Amino acid sequence: MHQARLLYRSLVGTARLLAPIVASGTGKISRGLSGRLNAHEVLARWGEEERDPHRPTVWVHAPSVGESLQACAVIEVLRERLPRVQVVFTYFSPSAVELAGRIPVEVSSYLPWDLRRTTTRVLEAIQPDLLMFTKTEVWPVLVDEARKRSIPVALVGGSVPPDASRLRQPTRTFLRATWKGLAVACAIADADADRLQSLGVSPGVICVTGDPAVDAVARRVATTDPTDAHLAPFHTDHRPTVIAGSTWQTDLERLLPAFERVRKEVREVRVVIAPHEPSGEAVTKLREHLERKNWSTRTLEEVESSASVSGADAIIIDRVGILADLYTIGHVAYIGGGFHRAGVHSVLEPAAAQLPVIFGPRYKKSAAAVDLVSEGAAKVVSDAEELANSLVTWLEDTEKNRYAASRAFSYIQAQRGGSERTVDVLAHLLGS
């Protein structure tokens, strides 16, 4: 195991040395590496210059958007319970940058490199009273260095799908000591608690508290303002609307043929498509394809600038951060990722917006997606024909749409409260 740790640190160190070269590009990986180059300095500077030593400090880490929603909900409850708390927030994926800017924290940054020198620099500067990870994101060097300083380490929103890579070797053995170092592990469900224990988390620190992300998305959807520039045009020009969120190319290969059939059967249908990565190239390519098929297209930016969506059959989303709002103007949602190796993206937002949900076959890593299927609020499709059939049914049959929508919303309501329960468990680590 000692050799495995040395190999890990060697690989991370090599990645850090190569990062400046790779970071010169414009892709997602390059942006992430660029953001991490000086992340430790950003955090350390805040700790040395702005941190109030008389107030408690919590360092919260979330790798990407879904986990950031979990973190946001917990942070908001923490602030309600402990108004004086200082929160440091880190993330791993560039996808989380926009959301990080909306989370109420003192400082946010990419996660520093998981090396002794960088983690020590940050820990000694910010001196957190608690280090908190989300879902299953734990970093061994950071956890080791925190434990050396008697800083408790917690996991919130813990979720371990049955096919998670962390359950397989060699990752399972490599991270076992890290998992054993957790002071608290808040699992989403009983099955997650069992798998966390199998990974090495001590049974006595595990509790089931639910998914904090449910609270975050429910609050976001409930406070959406229909007069906002990106929503108002849709409210003044009602048409049957499909919201296709976080779509990869593998989704579009099924979606676009399905849409061709749907518009033959559903009068005045409108589609809103949000690419997973809405780069200029991706938006242009999608738009050109649709226009070759005689769809009248606009980007969301064009909708906002003209304050009108009249005459547009297809709207292409050209920025991130507003998808949760857009679900509120839809009638049916398609969630991308179900035909991609990463699996389906978050289904919570459309469910909170009271929409029936459709996705591809790779959905079982998402407990919420599994639950929505069993509740009759979601459908799983394997090809364009099944997708078209499901869309037509939920666009044309009002009763079936209403039933699925109510089941989706009931599921969200039943799952609320996870952030409150999580903070209840964390409170003793902060002396409250």
Helix and strand tally (H, E) in the chain?
Answer: 21, 14
Name every residue whose Cβ is closer than 8 Å to that of residue 66 and which is 6 or more positions away in sequence.
135, 213, 345, 346
Handedness of CA 105, 110, 115, 118 (dihedral sign): negative
- Give the number of other Cβ atoms within 10 Å of residue 232's Cβ: 18
| Domain(s) of CATH 3.40.50.11720: residues in the chain | 2-210+417-430
Cα(361)–Cα(66) distance, rounded to whole angstroms?
A: 20
pLDDT at 101: 84
In CATH, 224-415 is 3.40.50.1100: no
Name every residue whose Cβ is closer than 8 Å to that of residue 366 and which is 6 or more positions away in sequence.
161, 343, 344, 346, 347
Q: What is the 3-state secondary structure (H, E, C) of 307-327?
A: CCCCCCCEEECCCCCCHHHHH
pLDDT at 26: 66
Q: What tokens does 334 get?
A: 């398609």
Cα(395)–Cα(267) distance, rounded to whole angstroms?
A: 10
pLDDT at 65: 86
CA 23 to centroid of chain Cα atoms: 23
In CATH, 2-210+417-430 is 3.90.79.10: no
| Domain(s) of CATH 3.40.50.2000: residues in the chain | 224-415
Q: What is the pTM of this model?
A: 0.89
What SS3 class is residue 131?
Answer: strand
Q: What tokens does 111 get?
A: 């996660």
Query: Nearest-5° angle of CA 277, CA 290, CA 352?
Result: 50
Q: Are 209 and 425 in contact (CB under 8 A)?
A: yes
Cα(135)–Cα(224) distance, rounded to whole angstroms?
A: 26
Alpha carbon of 26 to those of 35, 56, 94, 280, 376: distances in Å? 12, 38, 11, 12, 41
Q: What is the pLDDT along the chain (432 residues), one digit of tens a residue?
A: 667 788 888 888 888 887 777 766 667 777 877 888 889 999 999 999 999 999 999 999 999 888 999 999 999 999 999 999 999 999 998 888 888 888 999 999 999 999 999 999 999 999 999 999 999 889 999 999 999 999 999 999 999 988 888 888 988 999 999 999 999 999 999 999 999 999 999 999 999 999 999 999 999 999 999 999 999 999 999 999 999 999 999 999 999 999 999 999 998 999 999 999 898 999 999 999 999 999 999 999 999 999 999 999 999 999 988 999 999 999 999 999 999 988 999 999 999 999 999 999 999 989 899 999 999 999 999 999 999 999 999 999 999 999 999 999 999 999 999 999 999 999 989 876
